[in-house]
Amino acid sequence: MVDVGDAELVQRCCNGDRAAFEILLRRYERPVYNAALRLLRNPEDARDVAQTVFLKVYEHLSEYDPKYRFYSWIYRIAVNESLHGLSRRHRVEPIDEEEPDEHPGPDDEVGDEQISHQVQGALMRLKPEHRAVIVLKHMLGCSYQDMSEILELPEKTVKSRLFTARQMLKEVLLDQGMMRP
């Protein structure tokens, strides 16, 4: 059943097939968790958001409109829950801002792990809506059309937001010396 398409699994799940939901869960736990992780940075928060996402998906499966792709729907819930988690966290504690490395090097002189750390730190300096488009495009591999569905925005707005987000991310990485001008 692992080769069965999302739409059929959703249908089976709505008919009471719990195993079908388990397949959907295993299929999407990785991207959902990673979307939350990159938006929130904190692994525990990401885990909690991912759990909430799957419970919401389960509860609202009967509302899923099959004319949209299932992954667009679940990613939309993941992004919204993550942004909601961010706003909750803002109320009780400041976001941990990444301090620039004191001795950063250009991108070809430092290890992948350090670049990854710096890029994640730079991401956290973006506004959440900008971070979201970077995550959707670069982490989840969404197309402009997917992102338009997920964010419920016109494709033109999505592109504009993505280009702005990249420009801002580039500036942060340049400031940190993590990219050559």
Could you tell me which residues come within 8 angstroms of residue 140 by beta carbon, excluding any fewer than 6 positions away?
31, 34, 35, 75
Q: Which is nearer to another protein, 90 or 127 (CB)?
A: 90
Interaction of residue 69 with another protein, rule CB under 8 A: no
Interaction of residue 131 with another protein, rule CB under 8 A: no
- How many Cβ atoms are within 10 Å of 93's Cβ, its own excluded? 8
Interaction of residue 109 with another protein, rule CB under 8 A: no
150-159: long-range contacts (C-beta < 8 A, 24 or more apart)? 150/72, 150/75, 150/76, 150/79, 151/76, 151/79, 152/76, 158/133
Name the minimum Å distance from CB 69 to another protein.
Answer: 17
Interaction of residue 21 with another protein, rule CB under 8 A: yes
Interaction of residue 48 with another protein, rule CB under 8 A: yes
- Applying the rule CB under 8 A, the residues between 155 and 174 that interact with another protein are 159, 162-163, 166, 169-170, 173
How distant, in Å, are the alpha carbons of 49, 59, 61, 78 from that of 55? 10, 6, 10, 11
Interaction of residue 101 with another protein, rule CB under 8 A: no
Answer for the pair 31, 75: CB distance below 8 angstroms, yes or no. yes
Answer for the pair 172, 122: CB distance below 8 angstroms, yes or no. yes
Q: Give the separation between CA 166 and CA 181, rounded to whole angstroms.
A: 14
Q: Which is nearer to another protein, 86 or 162 (CB)?
A: 162
Interaction of residue 13 with another protein, rule CB under 8 A: yes
Answer for the pair 41, 119: CB distance below 8 angstroms, yes or no. no
Interaction of residue 126 with another protein, rule CB under 8 A: no
Could you tell me which residues come within 8 angstroms of residue 175 by beta carbon, excluding any fewer than 6 positions away?
100
Stretch that binds another protein, among 1-9, 71-79, 97-105, 116-124 (CB under 8 A): 116-124
Interaction of residue 133 with another protein, rule CB under 8 A: no
Residues in contact with another protein by CB under 8 A are: 13-16, 18, 21-22, 25-26, 29-34, 37-38, 43, 47-48, 50-52, 54-56, 58-63, 84, 88, 90-92, 107, 112, 115-116, 119-120, 123, 134, 137-139, 143-144, 159, 162-163, 166, 169-170, 173, 178-181
